[in-house]
Structure 1
Amino acid sequence: MMRYDVIIGRDILKHCGFKVDFENDKVTWDDVNVPMRPFPKTSNEFATNLYLSLHEDKIDDPLDHNDEVFLLQETTEHAERIEQERQRAMHSEGYRSKNILSSKYEFVDADTVAQTQKHLTAKQQSELSKLLKKYSRLFSGELGEYKDEKVHLIIDPKVKRPKSKTKPLPSLYGPKKFNESLQGRTRSTRPHRFYHLPKIGDILARRTNYAFFTKLDVSMQYYTFVLDNESKKLTTIATPFGTYRYLRLPMGISQSPDITQEIMEKVLHDLFEEVEVYIDDIGCFSTSWDKHMSLLDIVLSRLEDAGFTINPLKCEWGVKETDFLGHWLTPNGHKPWKKKVSAILAMQPPTNLKQLRSFLGLVTFYRDMWPRRSHTLSPLTNLLVTKVFNWGPKQQKSFQEMKAIVARDALLAYPDNSIPFDIETDASDYQLGAVIKQKGRPIASYSRKLNAAQRNYTTIEKELLSIVETFREYRDILLGGQINVYTDHKNLTHDMTKFTIQRVLRWRLLLDEFGATYHYKQGASNFIADALSRVPSSIPVGEEQETKPNDMQQA
C-alpha cells in the first residue's frame, strides 16, 4: 500500500467510464485499450524508443523491478539489447548524447527528393540533388547534438531548490504517443535568458518580391539540445518502466521555445536579410536561382555543423507559393492558409465557452486580414466577459457572418517603405477602426473595441486614439516611412499643440516619432475605416476591452 499514491476501486473506475476486462487482461477508456500489468503486449519499438530517449533515475523508484521492465522483455533479443544499452550508458559519459532516439524517418535519396520538386526545371533539380548529396548527414534522420554548449534551466531563487531525490512528475503513454506533465517544473524554473519570439506579422511583412523560397523544417529540434546535470533533475518523470530523467530539452516547458529561438538565431545570425527563423521553421528567400543555391549551401552547412537534422520530404524547395507560419505566401502578398480557413468553416456553433474560445482564437490569428472582425464578433466576445454561455440568435448571426467573411479570398500586399502609406482611421462610441493601404492595395486592417474608460473619452480623443493604436500595432511596418493619415475629424488636421490633457500630450510624443501628415476626409468618403468602427448600439455599457493576443507560436 505504501508503494502507491492511491488505489482506485472498481466502482470509481466504472463511474469514470473505465471498462476492466479481466478475461482479456485489458482496461478500456475513451476507446483506448491498455493492457494490465505485467501483460507484455505493448509495441517493442515504443518501449525501446522511450527507454533510449530518457535517462533512468534510480533515486526514487515508485515501481518494483518486475513492473519496471515488464514491457521491455517480450523477447530475449530486446531484453539483451536493453541491457547492453543500460551498461553502456552507465559506463560511458560520451554515450549519453549519442543514438538516444532512433531515426524519425527513413533515409531518402537526394535524387528522389529533387525529382519530386515538379515546379523546378531539370537543370534546377540536378543542382538541388548535388547540393543535398553534399549534406547527406544532415538528412540521415539520426538525432544530432548541438555542439556549442549545454542548455540549462536556472532555478528561480524564490522557489525552494529541489533535493537530490526530486519528486517525479506523472506521465501518460498511448499506442503512438508519450506525454508527460511538466507544469510543476515550468512554475519552478525561469529562462536562463528571456528571449522574445519574433512576431509572425513582422516576418511576413519583410518578405516581398522574392523569386524562390525554400522552407526547412528541423526534425526533433528540441532533442538536439543536451541538458546540464541540474536541469536533468527538474525533468524527472515516472513511467511504467521506472523513474527517468530527460537528457535533452523536452517539450512542455515554457523556456523551451525561448532557448530554441535564441540558439537558432545564433547559428544563422548574419543571414537575416535572406533568412527567417521561427523556432524550428526556417525560410530562405532569394531573388534568383543562383543566389538561392548559394544561400541554401550556407544555411545547410550551418545546420549540419550545429548538429541539426532535416527531413527533406517535409521541406519545400525553391517554390514561389507555399504555407509558412500559418499563412499562404506568394511573391505579391500573403493570405490565410486554406487549411486553416477550411478548419474554421467546418466548425459547428460552439456549445460552451471552451469551444467558443477555440473559434475566436482561430479567427483572431488572422486579425489583420479581415475588416470589421471586431464588430462582427462583438456578440461572441461579450460572452467571454460575462462568462455565461447563452447562445441566442445574435450569437448565431455573428457566427455565420464571421464564417462568411473568412470564406472570402483575402490577399494582403507586402509593405514597401519606398511608397507612402495611406492610413484611414475612424472611431465610434464603442469601436476603433483603421485600414492601411499603399497605392490602393490593403496592407492591414485594424479594429478593436473600446474599454469602459475609453468610452468616456471625448470624440476627438477617440479619433486620436484610433490613430495612436494603429501606429502602435504596426510600428515596425510604419516607422521610417512616409505616412498620410486620413480622418473625418477636421480638428486633428490642425496644430495639435493646443491640446493640454496629459493623456493627449503623451500620445503626441508617439505621433511625433512617425512624422505623419494629416488630411481631412469626409465620413462619406472614409467609408472603409468608418465601417470598421461601427457596432450595434445594443452592446452592454459594462463590456470590457477585447483582448488582442499576440501572433500565435504551432503551427
Structure 2
Amino acid sequence: MHTCVSQEWVEKNIARLHIASQLPVSKTHVVGAVGHKSPNIKNQLLIRMKILHAEFLINCLVVKGLIKPIIIGMQTLAQMKATIHIADGSLSFCDGDGKPFKVLYNSNNNECNDEHGPTNVTFIDVQSLNMSPVFKTTLSGEQWNRLHVLVNSFKGVFSDLPGRLRDFEYELRVSPQITNFKARHYPVPVHLRDRVRAEIERMQEIGVLEKCHSSFINPLRIVHKQDGSLRLCLDARNLNQYLLDEPEGPPGLDNVFAMFQGAQVFTSFDLTNSFWQVPLAKSSRKYTAFLFENQVFAFKVVPFGLKSSTSALLRALGDLFPLESATFCLRFVDEILIFSQSLEDHFHHIEFVLRMFSDNGLTIKLGKTQWLKAEVKFLGYILSGEGLKADPERVQAILEYECPKNLKQLRAFIGFINFYRRFQPNLASLVEPLTYLLKKGIRWVWTEEMQNSFEKIKIAFAEHVKLCLPVMNRTFYLSTDASGKSVAAHLYQIDEEGSPYPIAFVSRLLNEHERRYSISELELLAIHFGINKFRMWLQGTKFVVRTDHR
C-alpha cells in the first residue's frame, strides 16, 4: 500500500494473466518521486481484492516493472475507511458491512497478520499448482486466466491455519449417567516438553484451547505427524463411553465409487485441521479438559480423539451443502472431492465449493490440493472416470512386506491386504493357511505352507488389476465359485466389443459348520453371498448369475 499515490497499480506480468478482462485507457504514465517516468500506460484492470473476510473491487493501472505485484493507493484506502497506525505497523479498516478489522502489515514480506496469524496477500501462482500434465499442457490462455481469477478470488480460503465455521456449534450428546473422572495422564517426555508447551500456547492463540476449571480430566496423547510436527489429541476413552452414538457417518466405498461414472476431471481439497474448524458449544467444553504442568485446558473446538468427531464434522458440512451438490461434490470426512464431466462444469463446481468455504469461514491446505486431475489419489485408491486402481505405493509396500515373526505382525499384514480385497478374486482362499495362527490357543509355528501362502499373496498383488465403474444401463453378471474352504463372487459387465470388465471381487472363508455343506449347498451359499455383497448394484434390476456347478 502507498499513501503517496492516489491511483492503484498492478504489475504488467500479473495483469497479463487477466488479459481478457483488461480495458483500454487513454495514454498516460507514472512519474516517480525523483522524476522518472514509466512507459506509456495503455490498459486498466478491475481486480477483486480480499483481505481477511473483507472484499473490495479496485481499478488498477497496468504498469510494467512495478516492484510489487500490486500497489494500493489513497483511492482504495479511502474506500476501505482505512487508518494506518505507524507505531505498530497496523492497518484498521471496515468491510462492506461496516465490520472493523485490524491487521499488522509487514512491508518486507507482503504478509498481513490478524489475530489468527499470517494471511498471505500475494497472488497464488496457478502454474505451480499440483495439476494433471494433461490439463497443464492443454489449457488455453483464457482458461489459465479463468483459473487464476478463480483461485485468487478465494485466496483467503487457502491457509495452514484452521478456519472457524460460522453460525454452527456442536454439542456433545452425553449420557445422563456420566460422572466426574480424572484419568491418569501420560508423562510428557522431557525432550518434548518445550515443544508441547509451545504447541499449547499456539493452540490458545488460534482459538483452539482455553484455560478452564473442570472435573473431567482426559489424558493427552502426543502424535508425531509425517512432517515432524506434533499433534495433541485427547485419549478420550473415558469420555467416549459416555458419548451417545450419532447417526452421521462416512458413506460406504461402494456408494462412493458409484458416483463417478463418466467424470473426466477431478479436484480434491483437504480441510486444514478439519475437526478444529467446528466450534464446540460452551456447555460441552468441560468434558474435553486435560492437564498439563498443573494447568487445566479445554478445547473450544471439536478435538481429535472423540468417537463423535467425525459425525460433528459431517453434520457441519451437511448443513452447508445442498443435496444437489452431491452430483459433483463428495465429502468424505475431511477430504472434499469435486468431479465433473467437462472442464467448463468443473470451473463452476470449484467456484461453488470455494464460495461455500469462504462464506462460512472454512480453510483448506493449498499444498495438499490436487487440481484438474484426469485421475486422482483418493481414500487410498487411484480414481478416474473409468474406474479405480490400487495405489502403487501401497501395493509396493505389500510386495516389500517382511515375513511376519509374531501374531501382531501377522494381524497387521492381513489387515493391510484386506484393504485391497476388492481387487483379488480369491483372497480368502490365499489367506486361509495364515488364519490358522489366529485361532485361540494355537502356538506360533511358521510352516512351509504358510510361507508359500505369504508369497502367493504377494504375487497376486503384483498383478495390477483395474476395476471399472459400472454402466447402469448395461446388464450385470455375477460369477460365483465355492470350494471346501471359501466362497467367492465376481461382479462384471460386458462392453460393446463383447469383452468382460471387472467391477469388484469378494471372497470369504467358510466356518466349521459351512464346511460340511454339500457341493450344491456351497454353490447356493456363494450365490447368496455375492448377491448380498453387491446388493447396491443388483437390487431392482435383472442380472445374470454364472456358476460352474451343473
Q: 2:151 aligns with which of 117, 132, 154?
A: 132
Q: 2:235 aligns with which of 181, 189, 194?
A: 181
Distance 1:107 1:356 in 2: 51
Q: 2:487 aligns with which of 421, 432, 451?
A: 432
Provide closer, same or farther for how the CA distance between residues 462 and 293 of structure 1 changes in structure 2, counting only shifts above 3 A.
Answer: same
Contact 1:217 1:280 (C-alpha < 8 Å) held by counterparts = yes
Distance 1:106 1:340 in 2: 35
Provide closer, same or farther for how the CA distance between residues 176 and 419 of structure 1 changes in structure 2, counting only shifts above 3 A.
Answer: same
Counterparts of 1:397-546 in structure 2, within 5 Å, are 397-439=452-494, 440-490=500-550
Distance 1:349 1:297 in 2: 49
Match of 1:219 in 2: 272
Match of 2:123 in 1: 109
Q: Which amino acid aligns with 1:394?
A: E
Q: 2:218 aligns with which of 169, 188, 193?
A: 169
Distance 1:101 1:178 in 2: 18
- Please say if 1:146 is aligned against 2:150: no
In structure 1, runs of 5+ residues without a counterpart are 1-97, 491-555
**Residues 457-494 of structure 1, C-alpha deviation per residue, up to 9 Å, x if partnerless?**
3433322221111111121122233310012334xxxx
Q: 2:351 aligns with which of 282, 286, 297?
A: 297
In structure 2, runs of 5+ residues without a counterpart are 1-112, 183-212, 495-499
Q: Which has the higher strand share?
A: 2
Contact 1:419 1:482 (C-alpha < 8 Å) held by counterparts = no
Q: 1:353 aligns with which of 394, 398, 407?
A: 407
Provide closer, same or farther for how the CA distance between residues 389 and 240 of structure 1 changes in structure 2, counting only shifts above 3 A.
Answer: farther
SS at match of 1:154: coil
RMSD: 2.5
Q: How many residue pairs are counted as aligned between the two chains?
A: 391
SS at match of 2:125: helix
Contact 2:478 2:544 (C-alpha < 8 Å) held by counterparts = yes
Contact 2:214 2:296 (C-alpha < 8 Å) held by counterparts = no
Q: Relative contact order (alpha carbons < 8 A, sep ≥ 6): 1 or 2 greater?
A: 1
Query: How far did 1:241 drift?
Result: 6.4
Provide closer, same or farther for how the CA distance between residues 107 and 415 of structure 1 changes in structure 2, counting only shifts above 3 A.
Answer: farther
Provide closer, same or farther for how the CA distance between residues 116 and 272 of structure 1 changes in structure 2, counting only shifts above 3 A.
Answer: closer
Contact 1:417 1:482 (C-alpha < 8 Å) held by counterparts = no
Provide closer, same or farther for how the CA distance between residues 107 and 361 of structure 1 changes in structure 2, counting only shifts above 3 A.
Answer: farther
- Identical counterparts, % of pairs: 26
Q: 1:259 aligns with which of 308, 312, 315?
A: 312
**Residues 258-307 of structure 1, C-alpha deviation per residue, up to 9 Å, x if partnerless?**
22123223322321111111001111111111111011111111122222
Query: How far did 1:365 drift?
Result: 0.7
Provide closer, same or farther for how the CA distance between residues 369 and 115 of structure 1 changes in structure 2, counting only shifts above 3 A.
Answer: closer
Contact 2:164 2:277 (C-alpha < 8 Å) held by counterparts = yes
Distance 1:135 1:488 in 2: 58
Match of 1:513 in 2: none
Match of 2:44 in 1: none
Contact 1:113 1:313 (C-alpha < 8 Å) held by counterparts = no
Provide closer, same or farther for how the CA distance between residues 183 and 288 of structure 1 changes in structure 2, counting only shifts above 3 A.
Answer: same
- Please say if 1:228 is aligned against 2:281: yes
Query: How far did 1:176 drift?
Result: 3.0
Match of 1:517 in 2: none
**Residues 329-364 of structure 1, C-alpha deviation per residue, up to 9 Å, x if partnerless?**
123211101121122222211112221121111110
SS at match of 2:478: strand
TM-score (normalizing by structure 1): 0.66
